[in-house]
Amino acid sequence: MTDPTRDQPKEAPLNPALKTTTETVYDTKHPSPPPIDTASAHEGEGERWPIVWLIVTVLGVALAIFFMS
């Protein structure tokens, strides 16, 4: 009645394209620069965003109070 080969797992993965692979060759002659050296932020960049978000928040709360009253 029951087929014993049906309960055995198959050797092939469900999707052969998703096989795990590992890199075996590493370039050890050329070190990569530290992340801080490749950052592109400038002095004072982004200092205005907290003020912009404060204004947007205050306006949003004021509009919410206005429309709820």
Give pLDDT, residue 66: 97
Q: Which letter does DSSP use for residue 18 in this model?
A: G
pLDDT score of 65: 97
pLDDT at position 5, please?
A: 59
DSSP the chain: ---TTTSSPPSS-S-GGG----------SSPPPPHHHH----TTTTTTHHHHHHHHHHHHHHHHHHHH-
Q: What per-residue confidence (pLDDT) applies to 4?
A: 61
- Taking the chain (69 residues) in consecutive chunks of 10 residues, what is each chunk's mean pLDDT? 60 68 76 82 87 97 96
